Chains A and B, each alone.
Chain A
Amino acid sequence: MSDFLASLPAWWEVIRFPLGAALCLAGGLLCLVGTVGVLRFPDFYTRLHAASITDTSGATLLLLGMAMMAPDWMVVSKLVAIFVFIYLTSPASSHAAANAAHTAGLQPLIGPVSTHDKEGQGS
């Protein structure tokens, strides 16, 4: 056991770059998925939900991956600052957008959405 613990830092040095890069790639793909949702969803309020994928899981995975690859603690602290900023500000701006649209009288689409919209990609 102590053997394993002693060799842990060395292992960590080996795996952190591939692991971090893989997390970054997953986060980047999640950002892409969120954007696809922003393009496909039928109205503003539903697009807001898709955009929040980028803000939450995409950002988390990307920042986590970057933190794994970080060369020193300074970079990690900056990444933590970015994480905190994003998590504090993104719900505020989402809410501000939704609230402004609602106040202006933009009516949301309610009820099941048929698949054969013009954006729908179903064959």
Chain B
Amino acid sequence: MKGARVAYFLGLLVALVGFWLGMSGHYTPLLLTLGAVSVAVCLILAYRLDIIDREGAPYVRIIGFALYFPWLMKEIAKANWTVVKACLKAEMDISPALVKVKTACVTDLAKVTFANSITLTPGTVTVEIEGDKMLVHALYEQEAQPEAFDEMDRRSREAADGKRRPA
């Protein structure tokens, strides 16, 4: 447990330092000192707020997310095409529906990843999450059967939790 917290702390530290270096662009000693001070203040505040945990600093899982993201981009591109066509059609032919989707994700991080992936894909929006059921509003009823989300569910679970967890 202690080791995990150190890992989250280091992940947050690396992320903040990287963010500062990427935003600043001026690397004189004075400004670097100021940047170090601001990073330290952020870390102290995060420690005091007690948010240095799995959800506050999910940088340990960054490889999983990096592998998941290209697949998500592909899905987003496909869904975008559908919605763009729906927007531009002279005769509107949408058939919105509310669908209940059951997810196999256990941890909150995996659930959030799955729900956000659904929302990011145009044409589907997560309306409500309760336990392992999600209420999804979809633009096309026929394309939003609960089975359509199975692959996304599996992949987001793997991205957030890794493959070793069975359920």
Contact = CB atoms under 8 A, between A and B. Distances in A.
A45 B140 CA distance: 12
Most buried by A among B23, B83, B115, B116: B83
A52 B120 contact: yes
A56 B120 contact: yes
A12 interface: no
Contacts of B71: none
B144 to A, nearest CB: 11
A53 B87 CA distance: 10
A30 to B, nearest CB: 7
A6 interface: no
Contact of A111 (B22, B83, B95, B126): B95
Given A46-B94, A57-B80, A87 B120 contact: yes
B128 A102 contact: yes
A57 B82 CA distance: 12
Interface in B113-167: 115-117, 119-128, 135, 137, 139, 141
Contacts of B128: 99, 102-103
A99 B127 contact: yes
A83 to B, nearest CB: 11
Given A91-B116, A94-B125, A53 B84 contact: yes
B51 interface: no
Chain B interface SS verdict (over half): mixed
Contacts of B92: 40-42, 113, 115, 117, 120, 122
Contacts of B124: 49
Interface of A: 30, 33-34, 36-37, 40-43, 45-46, 48-50, 52-53, 55-57, 60, 74, 77-78, 80-81, 87, 90-92, 94-95, 98-99, 102-103, 108-113, 115, 117, 120-123
- 10 closest Cβ pairs, A-B complex: A37-B87, A77-B22, A91-B119, A91-B116, A112-B95, A57-B80, A115-B91, A122-B91, A74-B25, A52-B122
26 contacts: A33-B84, A36-B87, A41-B94, A45-B127, A48-B125, A50-B83, A52-B83, A52-B125, A53-B80, A53-B83, A53-B87, A57-B76, A57-B80, A57-B122, A60-B73, A74-B22, A80-B22, A95-B126, A98-B126, A110-B98, A111-B95, A113-B92, A113-B94, A115-B93, A120-B91, A122-B92
